[in-house]
Structure 1
């Protein structure tokens, strides 16, 4: 009986605690959901600091400002808000300048390019930009180099050593485990599968990496050189000979304008904004600034005409997606809704994807084709629009990319593991069974493929590649033979893709929107974003367990989390034929 009462008491306590937490959540949601307009004081500075990932658009989370609930982890800010806020600050009399501060900048190069160009446009107002950091990574310095003054901590670190692309090969580990990766692919340069059967880069892969990495580096040096008035050759020499080893080197070679501690930089900001040294600097955070002045042009808001922006970000899979993954059903539905809405006069598809399932890519491609027949269809490429990401883009009327967008990778592959030795020799497990047809167990990982089965799968992948190149040839008005010559899985930068015809123009998402408006012959319009973002309450239960798992794994593995993520990606590749970029590209 005593045990019974203990259980009853424990249950009651659990119910009471759950009720209290629920009430707190409801109150917090109500409090956080109220649209509080942020007042921007005169002589303020817009503070830009990127310490978390940047999504294509800011996710909805009314509890993001309540860190005591632990729900602010991995909160990202949308590129859409960043660009609109910088543009808004340009014309805001209360904003005197921008402070770029100690940014880790965990973003891709094309995203950095869009932000950098927005900052360059901001400077046309005559307002200042001051950059400061204790550690300048190459990625942050590329952004900061546009500033009027670039300051480095006197004891800080300045990284300027060139670009490096490293690939992790897993064949040795698979051999030790007794696992054979059975590869079926099309494309000389389709190297996503190389880590499973090689121990180093193939000659073809090394050629394409040298090519696109050189293009990225050339754009990087050209941008910095123009801002700092230093020739590309000189900058190349600095990096190649590792001339920048100490803060004084960065100053002597004119890559920074001064060595200052943060308090000294803050005092300079006060002086520039007319604030007394003893008073607090008037700073408005980027996220808060979104709530200050209504975004956009009021005339466009009054217009009945709309331009749809359909966000397709992340790996491509079947079914439903979210802000970070492309679900074929979700994006297809968004395209249909925009196509059938008479108020929508043109569509901009924003693609930021390394690819994924070839089947899911084809499903989306079909909807792009149908939409193109109904109204102007423009694609804006982000950091990546490669393989399946290019597949869903190729049918558009016009394609915009940044010079450092990664695109192309027109090819298909499939990976099927043969785990017979692993089961037999490592675990002592054997299998036996009965089947009603010769190919009833095709794809069984407990045995190797037969020659006939491999030929069947190769034929399917070849057929998929033929469909892919036909789609690109039709969309780009080229011959299939030509597309095959620049395809074969080869990766290109946006700058290179202009030359070979895979891309029409270099430009950002705003350029794509203007082009869509011109094609639709409309001047006044408002933007409508698709797909609808899930409400916080809708996502809360689904996301929390996944976020908690990811948070704990990241905290334990640190920088090694990327290897864990690669292994997860491998399991995805083994499910269906893939049209995917061979690797993730990081520039530190």
Structure 2
């Protein structure tokens, strides 16, 4: 009994070092001696009633992540242990056992886990004695969402008696019917059965364990454990973290870096978090995701926010915080016009200025709609002369914008406890002053962060992205985040100084390489696609769809601004699609254009999507009539819709009931089964972590498009490892 306890204690402490992992994934018999269970446990008491032997009580205390203390209340034996990690998935530990009236002894052990499903360990008793004893064990686990099947074999050698015990087999099942409840059953070759239950609450864990001896046909042992979790040592001060947002986060790469750093700060479990806005610009999707994240933190971590200039996006991002402060000289603009961003408008090369109103009023949502949106049978000869959408399409986009605006106002009104009518009054009076916001109850106080902020570590996103990893050479299990942003096109990803394509080209060669690396790397357990694209070339989008559909590991799509036309076609092959309420999806149409010398040189490929084209450049005789163009567009359209309907298991009418490349916001897309969940990027990451059974310290690897200059057509490549833990919030 004591040997098992010491062995489990050693391995548990080892697992708490550089790469802590969930104990239930590595050890057999962890329910037998549960005094030191739980990564978050700080102190626990364990009582065992043994029918055949004697009663036993233990008290445990974890002093740090690298050391622990145990005391047996019955035998008065004291245990001091420490652990460390030499290599990835290889952990060592040493325990000093100090019984009263006898000489002390040292036990050592290690555990090696080459794969998530396979682990092995060796424990040596009295390792400094001439005739040491040792036990070795190997175990295999099979995981599903609600249960774990485990099996293994162990061998024991007694150095004192020079005796060897042949390997004994064991097997069992852990069942998790609901969150926080774990039921287990195990059978061993010695005809002993084990069973019990463990219940986890916010700061308390309860466990009942029993052993049934089949030879004696009776219960031979029962045990109960109570563990107090997340105790703060008396010397640990309240931690306050400041998160400064000081630039334009419309670029998807910068936004993901911001999310990962926020995630890293949350993983440190500070007492308070302060968000400080200094000339920051957030897209509507970023605001919506931050709002949901802060709302989840309420009751766990106190959140306050300081805003220098409050537009609708910035305020919406932090309206769920416990306290919101606005600078005395800051504007307060709650009108939907504040969502307009000049850098999203590309009108320099076009003469039609009227198009700006319905297309660009929602920042970074429909920034690619500067290109003509078409339905399945609409023939476009000159894209520059057909920039204006018909009135019905303009009304559709305007209505989507108004629906999103109303939803934001309702969310803010509920969070701040004011009537929804007040939000419309404030919006109509915008822009206004900080005093108006304070009178309306939308901010707590007029104050600058320097006046209210308490001392804390400043997190600078631009300079500290890669700091904080205790062992940077240790590569842990991970979820890879791959960006699909901009116009999807064959070739390498690069930025583009082109009004038609937009700012960024998402090259399929680059994405394919990232997917291939993620698929071949055994440490990467799954992929989250961060999507913000209005489509691209038909061949490029179709090939990307096939790669995503055939990806062997779990692959989740998280839609930020939009996934329309060919971009939605591509990500429809993902295992699950998440989208914000304000995301835009659909817009499925095909445009085929004749050769037009006024257009900039484009590709020979045919292109799919509302804002895409297929330019038969320098091949004006390729198709001879307008009817052939229309027929070709119609065939491409039907093929794309048929594939999407098959992937989503939904009728054609849900995808595009009018055949006019209709766009839907996230809520409507969910009703039409175009998405699986309405949720943020954080929720997509947590879902990926859940289905891949990622360990609690699993990393996020962001594969971004790193471009420093406009002329950078061959960007630097490689995985970027961030010290951002994936935490269930």
TM-score (norm 2): 0.52
State the secondary structure of the residue aligned to 2:418: coil
1 CA distance for matches of 2:349 and 2:463? Answer: 49
Residue 402 of structure 2 is matched in structure 1 by 214
Residue 52 of structure 1 is matched in structure 2 by 248
Residue 258 of structure 1 is matched in structure 2 by 445
State the secondary structure of the residue aligned to 1:112: helix
Q: Which has the higher strand share?
A: 2
Residue 511 of structure 1 is matched in structure 2 by 683
The structural deviation recorded for 1:458 is: 2.3
The structural deviation recorded for 1:500 is: 1.2
Two-structure CA RMSD over aligned residues (Å): 4.2
Is 1:351–1:385's contact at 8 Å kept on the other side of the alignment? yes
Residue 97 of structure 1 is matched in structure 2 by 273
Q: Does 1:186 pair with 2:361?
A: no
Aligned pairs for 1:380-419 within 5 A: 380-416=558-594, 418=596
2 CA distance for matches of 1:233 and 1:347? Answer: 43
The structural deviation recorded for 1:502 is: 0.5
Larger radius of gyration: 2
Q: Does 1:108 pair with 2:288?
A: no
Is 1:353–1:384's contact at 8 Å kept on the other side of the alignment? yes
2 CA distance for matches of 1:489 and 1:253? Answer: 41
The structural deviation recorded for 1:249 is: 2.3
State the secondary structure of the residue aligned to 2:443: coil
State the secondary structure of the residue aligned to 1:156: coil
Q: Does 1:196 pair with 2:376?
A: no
State the secondary structure of the residue aligned to 1:466: helix
Q: CA distance change for structure 1 residues 188 and 85 in 2, over 3 Å: closer, same or farther?
A: farther
367, 370, 375: which is aligned to 2:550?
A: 370
1 CA distance for matches of 2:324 and 2:566? Answer: 40
Residue 567 of structure 1 is matched in structure 2 by none
Aligned pairs for 1:243-282 within 5 A: 245-260=432-447, 262=448, 265-270=449-454
State the secondary structure of the residue aligned to 1:348: strand
Q: Does 1:479 pair with 2:658?
A: no
Residue 14 of structure 1 is matched in structure 2 by none
1 CA distance for matches of 2:438 and 2:700? Answer: 46
Residue 541 of structure 2 is matched in structure 1 by 361
Query: Which deviates the most, 158-167 or 243-252?
Result: 158-167
1 CA distance for matches of 2:379 and 2:687? Answer: 33
The structural deviation recorded for 1:389 is: 1.6
The structural deviation recorded for 1:92 is: 3.4
Is 1:169–1:194's contact at 8 Å kept on the other side of the alignment? no
Residues 119-173 of structure 1: CA distance to partner in whole angstroms, max 9, x if unpaired? 334443343413131x322211112323333333334321122357798889994
Unaligned runs of 5+ in 1: 1-39, 59-75, 175-181, 274-280, 421-440, 548-588
Q: Does 1:84 pair with 2:256?
A: no
1 CA distance for matches of 2:589 and 2:534? Answer: 12
Query: Which deviates the most, 321-330 or 189-198?
Result: 189-198
Residue 415 of structure 2 is matched in structure 1 by 227
State the secondary structure of the residue aligned to 1:347: strand
509, 530, 535: which is aligned to 1:329?
A: 509
2 CA distance for matches of 1:189 and 1:516? Answer: 40
Q: CA distance change for structure 1 residues 41 and 544 in 2, over 3 Å: closer, same or farther?
A: farther
Residue 310 of structure 2 is matched in structure 1 by 136
Residues 432-481 of structure 1: CA distance to partner in whole angstroms, max 9, x if unpaired? xxxxxxxxx96559x9x999432222222222211211121111012335
Q: CA distance change for structure 1 residues 511 and 352 in 2, over 3 Å: closer, same or farther?
A: same
Per chain length, whose mean CA-contact separation is higher, i.e. which structure has more relative contact order (CA < 8 Å, sep 6+)? 1
The structural deviation recorded for 1:189 is: 9.9
Q: Does 1:309 pair with 2:481?
A: yes
The structural deviation recorded for 1:412 is: 1.7
Is 1:308–1:348's contact at 8 Å kept on the other side of the alignment? yes
Is 2:654–2:672's contact at 8 Å kept on the other side of the alignment? no
Residue 635 of structure 2 is matched in structure 1 by 463
Q: Which has the higher helix share?
A: 1
Aligned pairs for 1:138-157 within 5 A: 138-157=312-331
The structural deviation recorded for 1:512 is: 2.1
